[in-house]
Structure 1
């Protein structure tokens, strides 16, 4: 969940962890019960990652990059689409006919989003933002992920200050639900 380094290094490491979980899902046959466990882990990681990006990365993009408002708005649209897919996936068992369809859709959306961030947004941010500011953002992102929600909440605010105020409380409730249900635990 927290890896160290500047904001870009932190988020790229998150991307690799999610891709590894996608690989585990893809390696299992359709309907296998562990696909749901990995899907829950993917959702938990993606929600924490998204909340941290929305709280700290996208405001920095708006501040430091020319045309940053449009760039950040596009990233937020991507998040909203992925969050709705995750919400739909949350109610599906691994052997549900919609599970595979939703998983494929989520993987496609996330892979496109990651490619866009890593090939476009991150290089532009690295060029425009001082290294010490990137380091501070990395620490803020790590802190945000510790208290962030672990379940999709498509109707929740995605821009400061409301998202920063609400996320810790919602995150606490999500983590309690996860602990009680065993969600996200390895088989």
Structure 2
């Protein structure tokens, strides 16, 4: 969380981190307890990442990219699908029969979303947005991830200004819950 660089570099580094968690999950046998640990860690990173994208990246896409409204709306739909899967996954242990189905759905959804962003949205944004604006967006995204929720909240607003107002409070509550429960930490 918080890697430096412009918004595209920051978000692509997040993508690699989540893929690393997915690889760890895939390397373990079905039912292994560490699959839940890695799923929780991936979820925590994905939620922070999504909140930051919704607060800063997609408004920039709407402003700078041709047909940006449609692109941002499609990305928000992807986020909504993934967030619901993460919410369903939150209630499953690694040995729950639903766990494998849900984590497979999540990995497929996120991998398709990442490929679309990296092959289409990011190059278009890089071509249409001034470099200094991309750098400033990177700083804003890093700040947003520091206070963002760590748990999925499918009913929460996903567009400014409401998301920027509510995310820090939800983030604080989530981090307290994570600290008390040990969520995302190895035994």
TM-score range, shorter chain: over 0.9
The aligned residue for residue 31 of structure 1 is 31
> Does residue 110 of structure 2 align to residue 113 of structure 1?
no
> Does residue 76 of structure 2 align to residue 85 of structure 1?
no
Q: For 2:61, what is the secondary structure of its paired residue?
A: helix
For 1:160 and 1:185, how far apart are their aligned partners in 2? 32
The aligned residue for residue 71 of structure 1 is 71
Query: Which residues of structure 2 form unaligned runs of 5+?
Result: none
> Does residue 126 of structure 2 align to residue 147 of structure 1?
no
Aligned length: 187
Runs of 4+ that moved beyond 3 A: none
Please state how far the C-alpha of 1:186 moved relative to its aligned partner.
2.6
For 2:72 and 2:50, how far apart are their aligned partners in 1? 12
Query: Which residues of structure 1 form unaligned runs of 5+?
Result: none
Question: How do residues 40-55 of structure 1 correspond to structure 2 at under 5 angstroms?
Answer: 40-55=40-55
For 2:98 and 2:110, how far apart are their aligned partners in 1? 18
Q: For 1:86, what is the secondary structure of its paired residue?
A: helix
Q: For 2:12, what is the secondary structure of its paired residue?
A: helix
CA-to-partner distance for each residue in 1:140-184, whole Å, 9 max, x for gaps?
000000000000000000000000000000000000000000001
Superposed CA RMSD: 0.4
For 2:174 and 2:184, how far apart are their aligned partners in 1? 11
Please state how far the C-alpha of 1:73 moved relative to its aligned partner.
0.1
For 1:3 and 1:184, how far apart are their aligned partners in 2? 20
For 1:124 and 1:158, how far apart are their aligned partners in 2? 22
